[in-house]
A and B are shown apart, each in its own frame.
Chain A
Amino acid sequence: MIRRTVFSLAVIAVTSMLLTSASRGAKLATGAQGPDFRAQSVDGKEVSLASQKDAEVVVVCFTCDQCPVARAYEDRLIDFAKKYAEKGVKFVAINVNRGENLDAMKERAVERGFPYPYAYDESGDSARAYGAQVTPHLFVLDKNRKVAYQGAFDDSMTQPQTPYLANAVDAVLAGKQPAVTSTRPVGCGIQPRGN
């Protein structure tokens, strides 16, 4: 009887831990190798993780044209990418949504002046490999391309107080592990082909 109670309590404890962990459902654990990806950038070039070899840090941002949340974050992404480019951070935006296309993406990139590659992965493989669930969903890869942070850009779209992404990248650039390695990504569900 006691053993069963202890066992039940253990199960409850473990389950609660798993459920409250911010990386609930995350495909890649912190420290896992960031998978390579291949996508077609709006400027006609192919973008891949392998080709970012000179970057100190790579930020992979799964985003899209149409999601209102992704759109609302564009200014923040642009500012971030510009500011951190000079610190050796390479920012790459990938769109996998099956309802979208490179032409529309190119228009948006030009209109908004994206200072980073905005690429379309038609296969959807990159999103699946990273476990990207919404737009925008961000992944910080360190010098060895291991996942140092994944999740949201900051803690709130309308009242941001904690810049999770910037904090994580600052930590990695300083050779430390981010205090927060994972947050819940909020946005529109990603809709890749092949799902």
Chain B
Amino acid sequence: MITSTVKNRKLTCLLVTLILISAGVVCWSGCGDSSKTNSPDGAAKRDHPPIELRPVDRAGYDETIKKHLGKVVFVDFWATWCGPCQEQFPHTVEFSRKYADKDVAVISVSMDDSEDPDQVALVKSFLERHHAHFDNLLSTYPFVSQEASEALDLPGPLPHYKVYDRHGKVRQEYSGAPAGLEELVDKLLAE
């Protein structure tokens, strides 16, 4: 009898904690002023539009790059089945926040299976969890295919990153963590 009382208390504590955490999460994303400007201070106060995931082929990808002409563009090619990609992704988000006020655009391209609704759902929830408030694209090419790699000019392994200058030209590519990214972006911004 004593054991069940202790268990009940522990359960209640857990329940209360979960409620508090959920409330905290809801508050984080919903509270604060509705200003749409990306100001560096008070990240929690930003009111972001919902995370969008846009299926694209090469033409759609090029269109997205073109949309940002005049800015330095950082593209993160990743996949939900790629552990190192998931480890690196928060750095991409951090980078996008740090450079929010500069002429920098961030694009993520998921190489997951656009024909598999479960995988698409995984992609969406991953992006939401990581607050990926930038252009999020989803490759519509056959999953894990030469065609996908060729169409998007990827060497194969993920994660893969590309940095475009203000004129829409690829200036650097990385496989694995993009070391020296900020120095490069600062340099390209100054061009």
Residues of chain A whose beta carbon lies under 8 Å from any beta carbon of chain B: 19, 24-25, 67-69, 72, 133-134, 152, 155-159, 162, 183-189, 191
Is B147 touching A155 in the complex (CB atoms < 8 A)? Answer: yes
A133 to B84, CA, bound (A): 13
Is A24 touching B155 in the complex (CB atoms < 8 A)? Answer: yes
* Residues of chain A lying within 8 A (CB to CB) of residue B83: 188-189, 191
Residues of chain B whose beta carbon lies under 8 Å from any beta carbon of chain A: 81-84, 113, 115, 142-150, 153-159, 175-176
B contact patch SS: loop
**What distance in Å separates the Cβ of B55 from its nearest Cβ neighbour in chain A?**
15
Q: Other CB < 8 Å A-B pairs besides A69-B144, A184-B154, A186-B149, 15 of them? A: A19-B153, A68-B81, A155-B145, A156-B147, A157-B145, A158-B115, A158-B144, A158-B145, A184-B149, A184-B155, A186-B148, A186-B157, A187-B157, A189-B159, A191-B83
A-B contact count, CB below 8 Å?
71
* Residues of chain B lying within 8 A (CB to CB) of residue A19: 153
* Residues of chain A lying within 8 A (CB to CB) of residue B81: 67-69, 188
**What distance in Å separates the Cβ of A125 from its nearest Cβ neighbour in chain B?**
19
* Residues of chain B lying within 8 A (CB to CB) of residue A184: 146, 149-150, 154-156
Is B142 touching A158 in the complex (CB atoms < 8 A)? Answer: yes
Is B142 touching A189 in the complex (CB atoms < 8 A)? Answer: no
Is A152 touching B146 in the complex (CB atoms < 8 A)? Answer: yes
Residue of B nearest to A164 (CB): B146
* Residues of chain B lying within 8 A (CB to CB) of residue A183: 146
Is A156 touching B155 in the complex (CB atoms < 8 A)? Answer: no
A68 to B142, CA, bound (A): 15
Residue of A nearest to B143 (CB): A158
A156 to B150, CA, bound (A): 12
Which has the most chain A C-beta neighbours within 10 Å: B82, B143, B156, B175? B156
Residue of B nearest to A157 (CB): B144
* Residues of chain B lying within 8 A (CB to CB) of residue A188: 81-84, 158
A185 to B145, CA, bound (A): 9
Is A133 touching B156 in the complex (CB atoms < 8 A)? Answer: yes
Pairs across A and B, CB under 8 Å, 13 listed: A133-B156, A133-B157, A155-B145, A155-B146, A156-B142, A156-B146, A158-B143, A158-B145, A159-B145, A184-B155, A184-B156, A187-B144, A189-B157
Is A186 touching B115 in the complex (CB atoms < 8 A)? Answer: no
A53 to B144, CA, bound (A): 34
Is A185 touching B147 in the complex (CB atoms < 8 A)? Answer: no
Is A186 touching B145 in the complex (CB atoms < 8 A)? Answer: yes
* Residues of chain B lying within 8 A (CB to CB) of residue A25: 155, 175
**What distance in Å separates the Cβ of A79 from its nearest Cβ neighbour in chain B?**
18
**What distance in Å separates the Cβ of A141 from its nearest Cβ neighbour in chain B?**
20
A187 to B147, CA, bound (A): 14
Q: Which of A72, A157, A189 contacts B158 (CB 8 A)?
A: A189
**What distance in Å separates the Cβ of A195 from its nearest Cβ neighbour in chain B?**
9
Which has the most chain A C-beta neighbours within 10 Å: B84, B142, B147? B142
**What distance in Å separates the Cβ of B144 from its nearest Cβ neighbour in chain A?**
4
Is A189 touching B176 in the complex (CB atoms < 8 A)? Answer: yes
Residue of A nearest to B115 (CB): A158
Which has the most chain A C-beta neighbours within 10 Å: B82, B84, B113? B82
**What distance in Å separates the Cβ of B44 from its nearest Cβ neighbour in chain A?**
33
**What distance in Å separates the Cβ of B151 from its nearest Cβ neighbour in chain A?**
11
A185 to B147, CA, bound (A): 12
**What distance in Å separates the Cβ of B169 from its nearest Cβ neighbour in chain A?**
12
Closest 8 CB pairs of A and B: A156-B145, A157-B144, A184-B156, A68-B81, A155-B146, A184-B149, A133-B157, A156-B142
